[in-house]
Structures are given as structure tokens and as C-alpha cells.
Amino acid sequence: MDKKVVLDILFSAIILTLFIGPRFNSWSYAKLNLFSGKPEDYIDKFRYYFYCSVYLLTFITLLATLYQFPEFLSIFPSNVHEPDWGNALVKVLGENSITVYSFMLITLLGNKKVAAVEDAWRERLHEWARIPKAVQEATRTITNRDNGFRPPKRYLERVAKELQLEAARNAKKELQSTFWMNILHHRQHSQIQGAITWRFIECFCLLMIVKDECPGYFHDDLAGKEARLHELSTIIPFLEPGETDAQHHKEELNRLSIYFIECLCKRLIKHYPSKQAQYNAFKNLGFNIGYRDSTDIKIAEAIALSLLGILVVSCISVLALQEVLGLLTWDRYLRWASGSFICFCFALFIAIFCERTMTKQAEPSLSLYVITILAATISAFLYFHIASDLNRNGAQYARGILALSFSVLSLCVILALNANNQHADDVKRSAWLHALGMGALLAPCQIAIYLAYTSGTPNSPLIDFQLSHAGINTLITDRDYLLAKLGLIGLFKGFFLGGIVSYAIQDTMRRQQVSAMRKNPRARFNQIISLKSGDNEILAGAENISKDGIMLKCGRRLDKNTRVEIATRFFGPVTGVVKWSRRKLWKKQLVGIEFIGERNELHAFLRGQFGLYYA
């Protein structure tokens, strides 16, 4: 490919990213004044960039369409597709420059009808990404529950200190300090009565949590609200329960509490993408949001493994194909291998997107498979229409079959995403079945592509090559043998690709589901610690740790129910009991220990080192 064309494509991509990408981070016209901040504040980074990529791909598709069919521009007013600067840009870059069409596409967004369609599409992508629905639901769940928030002990102690300091600065310090200490010491009665005093304590705790968990966020708003809370701490002790002012201040505290809760929901949902992680983080802060089993599983690892598998299989299968056909050259190999990788990636991401946005029930519907296959086939066909130089009649049919063969991977992806296997053996068995099925589909596709390309054309490059090397008689007798080899290449390509992608997706989902079933999440903790059992002191290597236990390896046997003292430089001594012990290689013992007794310092370490998800 010419360097000028490559630079043109790169420059066009930069233009779309700079001018179109930021639009995704703006609210649609209908929601413009309804929410604070930007859409990215309501979603984790992976989900945001995934849907932003879908948004950009929409414009890339439109750009490719306009580039191939420029007559579509004629339906718009001339000042849109022929702006004043258009002629100058065409003189510099040329009429066939993709960059020129990129600027025209951006100019089209100035048209009211096009802008309305773009606004509606952006709003729909926000809905699919649960912007801002995820934060709204979490906030509503907490505020609508009678016991949606139970301040943790550590925050009640901090509030007590803050109120004592505030009372010390006030002229009526003794009465005020005594009042708040009584409320905190008899908080169970205050909670039952739902008094304004306890609402104030909850609101102050929420402020403390937001300051801890959202450093650098909402700073300007928090300063004024914190000052107002300090002011209320001097007013509330002298209010009578039936006063109008008391009800007014209670409503003000409710509004402040909802604001603080929304700030925390934004932060936690942005920081913890999975439902299980969000649930644990909220729970460790004293919130009761109610746990619901969810299929919201992160598959970034599975996608990375799948991409690696697609790359390897594409490189090997194209090499084998060109070797069999006698068309192996470095330039052609790069073009075919990159095309194979790109089109399989289309199928992978389209399948994931459609499955996540269209699945409304336990089993995927027939329409999901049909729409996914069509979208993946059209994407691959458009790619080959733009990138390929095959313009013969037979090549048109071959290109269609080729695009369909790449879309087969999307079926495998949807089946893997809905397999829901909990056991490792079931995952392997399912991956084998998907591998065989995809191999069985790609084998005839590979043969059909060759037949469509060579049918009715005696001067085909493939046939010309065979004629020049084997003679007409050899070609005829070896044709079936050639088709058999092509079928085997398709079979092995489908088998390995289907198996790798299916296993990567299913195993990633299975491990996350198994982890979610544990009572407490485990953090990787590869450190040397000291165990004391009676008079014996043992050095052991920790594997992972949770707020209720630790798993470690040691060189000495520890019997079940043995009481041990654990010492480490990261947190204070903790007492534990051996719950199980298994022998590993080289006389090593794998030991599971459950903590007992007080472990506040351990929990503080887990929160500081690994996050709220763990403690």
C-alpha cells in the first residue's frame, strides 16, 4: 500500500477521534440539563471506551459508505458537502482523499436532521451502557430502604471526634458535646425513632466516606456542604421535635444524604465494574443494596486471549492456504493474514455487542443469531470490497462466501457466552463441541470460496498457476485432491479457532462465577509471614488473603483445628485456626487458615492496599 494512502488513512482516523470521539462524552439533547457531570462519570472505563468505540465505528462505516458511494452526498444541501473550504482542501489532498470525506462527514453533523439522528443514536448507546441508569438504580436502592445505610463503627468514632472539636469551638460547648455523645451512645434508640439527630449522624458519616473514597472529586461542592453540616451541628441540639424548623432541617439533611450517596455510587460503579465487586464495596462501607445474582461478568481477559488465538490461527491458516495454492508471496501473505484477523475480530466484537445488548431472556433468541450473522457478514464484505482488488464476476460470489465464513465465529461466541458451565470438565467438553462444529462449517466454506473464484474462468490466476506447473491433465486429476486439502485447512482453522475462543470465554466466566460464590473475595498476597503454633515458629509463604482467612504454603504439617498466631510487617498479630491442609510437591503443605477474634488492623490494611472490594 502506498505511503500516501497510509498517511491519509491515519490522518483521517486522527480527525475522527479528535472531532467525533468527544461527542460521545456529552449528554443527548433530552438529558442535557438532567444530570451533573459528564457521561463518563457514571460508568467504568472499560465499558465507556467499548461503547465509545462502537460509536466511532458507526462513523467509520458511514465514512466508508460515503467514500465508496459519494452520490449519497447529493441528498444534502450544497453548503454541507461543498463548503467554502472544500475546493482548497481538494486541491491539496486530491479528490479521492479519505481525509476530505472525513471533513465532509463532520460537516454533515451540522445538518439538523443528521444531528438529530446522531443524538438519538448516542442516547441509545448510553442506554445500552447503562449511563446513568446504573448509578440511579444504586442510589434509589439505598435511599428507598429503611436500613439502607448503617454507619460503620470507624466512621461513627470519627464523627464523634469532629463533633467534639466543633463543640469546643462553640460558646455552648459543654451542652453541645454532651448532646451528641448521648446520641452516639444510644444510637439504637435514635435509629428506631428516625429522629433528625440520627439523620444528621448518618449524613456526617456519608460526608466522611465521600472525602475518603472520592479524593479530588466533588471538592468544590463538598467544602460548602461540610461547612453547612458543621453549622447544623450547633443548631440541631436546641431544636424541639415538633418545630417547623426541625422538619425543614431534616429535609435538608435528606437532600444532602442523597447527594453524598450519589457521589459514592458514581465513584464505586466507575471503579468496580462487576456487580459482585460493587456489592462488596457498598457492604464494606455500611450500605445495604441487596445482592442479586448477575451475569455482569468481565470478559476483557477472554477477549485478549481470543484475539491472540485469532492472530495465531490466521497467520498459520493463511500460510498453509497460500502454500497449497502456490500463491505465497510476502506482500500477499500480509494482506491475507491481516484481512483474516480483522474480519474475525469483526465477528468477535459484533457477537459480544449483540449478545450483551439484545439478550433479554435466559436463552438467546433466533433473531439474535440472525442479526449477528448478518452484521458480521456485511462488515467483512465491506472490508473486502474496500481492501480487495478482486473485481471479476466470480470474485464477487467468492467474496460473499468468504465474508460469511468469517461470521461463523460469531455463532461460536454467542454459544460460549450462554454456556454457563460451572465445572472445568464441562467447559472443556463444550469447547470441544464448538470447535468441531466450527470446523465442520468452515471446511465446506473454504472449498466453496475456491470453487466460486475459479468457476467459469479458465484464465483464473489460480488455474493459470496450476496449468503452468502441472499441465492440464495433472490439474484435472489433482483437482479433487486440491479441494480435499482446502477442506482440511478450513476444518483445522475452524477447529482451533472455535476451540480457543470458546474455551477462553467459558473458562473466564466460570472462574469469575466460582470466585463470586465465595463468602469473601481473595486478594493475591505473595509475602513471607511468620506462624507461631505453641512453641514452634514457622516461616510460610502466603498465597492469597481475605478479611476472614489466608491460604499459605509451608514446609511443616499443620493439623486441622490447630490454633496459630500470624505475624507480618503489614498488619498486627492475628489469631487463626487451621481449617484444612493438603500435601503438595516437594513436601510442601497448602494450608487454609480462618481468622478469629479482633482484626480491625487487617481490614484497614486490605482496604488501603487492595480496595473496598476486599474489606
For 84-136, how does the pLDDT look when each residue is reduced to its tens digit (9 = 90+)?
555 556 566 666 777 778 888 888 888 888 888 889 999 988 888 888 888 88
pTM of the model: 0.59
For residues 315 and 332, the model is more confident at: 315
Residue 94, sorted as left (phi over 0), alpha (psi -120 to 50) or beta, turns out to be left
- Residues with Cβ within 8 Å of 350's Cβ and at least 6 positions away in sequence, in order, are 372, 375, 376, 379, 410
Number of domains in the chain: 4
Q: Which amino acid makes up residue 424?
A: A
Q: Which of 79-83, 197-201, 350-354 has the weakest average pLDDT? A: 79-83
CA–CA dist 166, 256 (Å, integer)? 19
Q: H/E element holding 532?
A: strand 528-533
Q: Do residues 214 and 264 make contact, with C-beta atoms less than 8 angstroms apart?
A: yes
Domain boundary among 455, 486, 516: 516
- pLDDT category at 603 given cuts 50, 70, 90 is confident
The separation between the first and the last C-alpha atoms of the chain, rounded to the nearest angstrom, is 55
Please state, for a pLDDT cut of 70, what percent of the chain lies above it: 78
Q: Which of 276-285, 349-358, 396-405, 456-465 has the weakest average pLDDT? A: 456-465
Q: Which of 183-192, 216-225, 596-605 has the weakest average pLDDT? A: 183-192
- pLDDT category at 459 given cuts 50, 70, 90 is very low
Residues 23, 92 within the same domain:
yes
pLDDT at 387: 63
Q: What is the mean pLDDT of residues 467-482?
A: 51
- Residues with Cβ within 8 Å of 516's Cβ and at least 6 positions away in sequence, in order, are 276
- pLDDT category at 293 given cuts 50, 70, 90 is very low
- Residues with Cβ within 8 Å of 507's Cβ and at least 6 positions away in sequence, in order, are 302, 424, 427
Please report whether residue 376 resides in a domain: yes
Q: Which amino acid makes up residue 591?
A: V
Secondary structure class of 34 (helix, strand, coil): coil
CA–CA dist 254, 553 (Å, integer)? 51
Please report whether residue 31 resides in a domain: yes
Residues 428, 534 within the same domain:
no
Most confidently predicted of 113-117, 180-184, 513-517, 580-584: 113-117
Q: Mind giving me the DSSP string for 114-133?
A: HHHHHHHHHHHHHHHTTTTH
- pLDDT category at 434 given cuts 50, 70, 90 is very high
Q: Is the pLDDT of residue 503 over 60?
A: yes
pLDDT at 193: 47
Q: Which of 86-100, 293-307, 425-439 has the weakest average pLDDT? A: 86-100
CA–CA dist 259, 255 (Å, integer)? 6
pLDDT at 595: 85
CA–CA dist 207, 166 (Å, integer)? 15
CA–CA dist 155, 209 (Å, integer)? 8
Domain boundary among 129, 157, 190: 129
Backbone angles phi, psi at 363, to 5 degrees: -105, 140
Instruction: For residue 418, give the DSSP letter.
Output: T
CA–CA dist 545, 566 (Å, integer)? 12
Report residue 347 CA to chain centroid gap: 18
Residues 306, 414 within the same domain:
yes
Residues 389, 503 within the same domain:
yes
pLDDT at 460: 47
Q: Alpha helices, DSSP H only, in 272-365? A: 275-284, 300-325, 330-358
Strand-pairing partners, residue 525, are none
Domain boundary among 109, 129, 149: 129
Residues 545, 500 within the same domain:
no
Q: Do residues 201 and 188 make contact, with C-beta atoms less than 8 angstroms apart?
A: no
Q: What is the mean pLDDT of residues 501-509?
A: 89
Residue 79 C-alpha cell reads as 453548503
Distances (CA, A) of 331 to 115, 326, 380, 414, 586: 42, 14, 20, 34, 52
CA 57, 58, 59 angle in degrees (round to 5)? 90
- Domain span including residue 215: 139-285
CA 54, 130, 59 angle in degrees (round to 5)? 20
- pLDDT category at 469 given cuts 50, 70, 90 is very low
Q: Which of 267-271, 439-443, 529-533, 596-600 has the weakest average pLDDT? A: 596-600
- Residues with Cβ within 8 Å of 549's Cβ and at least 6 positions away in sequence, in order, are 520, 576, 579, 592, 593, 594, 595
Compute how many other C-beta atoms are within 10 angstroms of the C-beta atom of residue 409: 28
pLDDT tens-digit map of 511-544: 776 665 566 777 878 888 888 887 778 888 888 8
Please report whether residue 615 resides in a domain: no
Residues 43, 176 within the same domain:
no
Please report whether residue 415 resides in a domain: yes
Please report whether residue 491 resides in a domain: yes
Residues 145, 122 within the same domain:
no
For residues 537 and 77, the model is more confident at: 537
Residues 441, 580 within the same domain:
no
Q: Is the pLDDT of residue 162 over 80?
A: no
Report the candidate in 109, 126, 127, 131 with the shortest Cα–Cα distance to residue 118. Answer: 109
Q: Which of 41-45, 71-75, 473-477 has the weakest average pLDDT? A: 473-477
Q: Is the pLDDT of residue 328 over 90?
A: no
Q: What is the mean pLDDT of residues 442-463?
A: 70
Residue 385 C-alpha cell reads as 470490497
pLDDT at 233: 76
- Domain at 597, CATH number: 2.40.10.220
Q: H/E element holding 175?
A: helix 173-185
- pLDDT category at 436 given cuts 50, 70, 90 is very high
pLDDT at 467: 38
Q: Mind giving me the DSSP string for 555-602?
A: SS---TT-EEEEE-SSS--EEEEEEEEEE-GGG-EEEEEEEES--HHH
CA–CA dist 50, 298 (Å, integer)? 12
Please report whether residue 294 resides in a domain: no
pLDDT at 495: 93
- pLDDT category at 270 given cuts 50, 70, 90 is confident
Residues 316, 263 within the same domain:
no
Backbone angles phi, psi at 590, to 5 degrees: -95, 120
Please name the residue that has the C-alpha cell 483474516. 340
Residues 262, 403 within the same domain:
no
Residues 106, 225 within the same domain:
no
Residues 522, 512 within the same domain:
no
